[in-house]
Structure 1
Amino acid sequence: MEKNSKWLEELELLRSIIRKTELEKTTKWGGEVYTFNKGNVLSIAGFKNYVSLWFFNGVFLKDPFQVLGNSQEGKTKALRYWQFTSLDEMEEEKILQYIQEAIENEKKGLKWKAEKSSDLEIPEIFSNYLTADKSLKSTFENLTPFKQKEYIEYISSAKRDATKVSRIEKIIPMILEGIGLNDKYRK
C-alpha cells in the first residue's frame, strides 16, 4: 500500500519509465531506491502536494529543461529533485533523458566527494571544559574528525548558553567513553 494513495498513477508512470532502464529496484530508508551496480542512482516518492524524482548525484546532471531543485541550498550538495503535481507535467521522453544521464554518470563513477574540513571551530564554552579537564580533552582529540564534528555542531546549534552548557554536560560521559553522538543509530 502506498503511503500516499493520492499519487498512485504518477508513481506508476515513473516506475514504468524506470523499468525501461537497467536500474534495479530496492528499498532503502523506507522508500523506493533504484540502483546501478549497487550505487544509488534515484528514488521516487509521493508527498502531500507532489510526487518527486530524486537523483542522488543530480549535481552532475546537465538539466537542459531547468527542472531540478536543491532541497536545502548551501547544505545539500549532490542530491537534486524533480517535482510533479500532475500526470500532465510528466513527459516520459524528458524524464527518461534525465534518468539515462544519471545512469551514465553512475557508470562513469561520478560521485560527490564530501568536503573534508579539518578546521573545526570549537565553541569557546566547550573549549573551557576541554581546558579544565585534560582527560576529556585527550579523549575528544582521539575521536574521529566525524565524531568531533557531530559534537561541535550539536553544541553550536544551541542558541542560548544555558542550552549549550546542558548539552555539554549531557555529552561529556559519551565523549569519555569514546562514542559518537549518534553511534546508537548506526549499525
Structure 2
Amino acid sequence: MAKKEKSVDVYIAKSADFAKPILNHIRELVHKTCPDAEEKMKWSMPFFDYKGEMLCHMAAFKQHAVMSFWKASLMKDPILMANAQSEISMGHLGRLTSMKDLPSDKKIAAWIKEAMALNDKGIKVAKPKPAEKKELVVPDYFTKAISKNKKAKQVFDAFAYSHKKEYVQWITEAKTEETRNKRIASAIEMMAEGKSRNWKYKA
C-alpha cells in the first residue's frame, strides 16, 4: 500500500494549477512502480525514498515542474543528465509545463525500476571532492555600484561564497556594456530584497 504523506498533499495543493496534474501523475506512477516507496519532504520538495535511500523527487515552480532521480548519474540513459544540465530545465525529465511534456509512463517506470535496482544493490553516488575555493575577484565597477545601495551591500557581504560567485559571473559574462549595466541594476534590486541570483529556482 502506498505510504503517502499529508505534507506532500499540501505541497501539491499549493502548486500552480498547471503543475497539479503533473505532480499527481508522477506520484501515482512512482507508487505503482515502487509500492514500497516512502514519501518525505526534503529541502521543501517531495522526495520518494526506497529501502532507506532517496529514489527520486519532484518539484513545482512558477512556470514549470520537474522530476529528478537521485542516482541519475549512475543510470544508463544519457538524456537524464543532459536534461538536468540544461539551465531552463533543472530536472532529469526536462522542463514540464503540461502533461504532454511528460515522457511515456513506460519510460518513466523503466527509469524508476533502474533507480530501484541501484538502491537494491546498495550502490552509492560518489561524493565529489570539494574543490579548492579560489579567491573571488569582484570587479571594481560592481563593488562601486553595490556600495551605493546600503541594503544590497549588506546582503552581498553576508552572502556565502557560492552566492557571490553566481552574481559576479552573471555580471562579468555580459557581452555588452548595456547588458552588463542592466544586470547590475537587476542584481542590486534582487540583493536589496535579500535574494540570491537563482532564488526563483528554489522551491
TM-score, normalised via structure 1 length: 0.56
C-alpha displacement of 1:111: 1.9
Alpha-carbon displacement from aligned partner over 1:124-171 (angstroms, at most 9, x marks no partner)? xxxxxxxxxxxxxxxxxxxxxxxxxxxx45xx234248x7xxxxxx89
Distance 1:157 1:19, change over 3 A: same
Residue 159 of structure 1 aligns to which amino acid in structure 2? V
Aligned length: 126
Indicate the residue corresponding to 1:27 in structure 2: 41
Partner of 1:102: 115
> Aligned AA for 1:81?
H
Q: Secondary structure at the match of 1:19?
A: helix
C-alpha displacement at 1:35, in angstroms? 0.6
Are 2:21 and 1:9 equivalent residues in the alignment?
yes
Contact 1:58 1:80 in 2 (8 A): no
Q: 2-side partners of 1:89 and 1:6: how far apart?
A: 12
For residue 115 of structure 1, report the CA deviation from its aligned partner. Answer: 3.0
Shift, 1:40, TM fit: 1.2
Q: CA deviation at 1:4?
A: 2.5
- Which residue identity is paired with 2:23? L
**Counterpart for residue 85 of structure 1:** 97
Residues 89, 24 of structure 1: alpha-carbon distance in 2 compared, 3 angstrom cutoff: same
Which of 126, 130, 136 is matched with 1:113 structurally? Answer: 126
Is the partner of 1:88 in helix, strand or coil?
A: helix
Q: Tell me, yes or no, if structure 1 residue 49 matches structure 2 residue 60.
A: no
Change (3 A) 1:37 1:115: same
Show structure 2 runs of 5+ residues with no match: 1-12, 144-156, 159-203
- For residues 6 and 87 of structure 1, what CA distance do their matches in structure 2 show? 9
Distance 1:41 1:158, change over 3 A: farther
Q: What TM-score, normalized to structure 2?
A: 0.52
Contact 1:31-1:44 at 8 Å conserved across structures: yes
Q: Helix, strand or coil: the match of 2:93?
A: strand
Partner of 1:134: none
Identity %: 22
Hey, which bits of structure 1, 4+ residues long, moved more than 6 A?
none
Largest Rg, 1 or 2:
1
Higher relative contact order (CA 8 A, sep 6+): 2
RMSD, aligned α-carbons: 3.0
How big is the shift at 1:3? Answer: 3.0
Per-residue deviation, residues 2-45 of structure 1 (Å, max 9, x unmatched) = 23232111111111101111211111111100111221111011
Rounded Cα–Cα distance in structure 1 between residues aligned with 2:58 and 2:93: 10
Look up the SS of the partner of 1:52 in the other structure.
strand
Change (3 A) 1:72 1:7: closer
The runs of 5 or more residues in structure 1 that have no matched partner are 74-78, 121-151, 164-169, 172-187
Q: Quick check: 1:57–1:80 contact (8 Å CA) kept in 2?
A: no
C-alpha distance in structure 1 between counterparts of 2:41 and 2:137, whole Å? 34
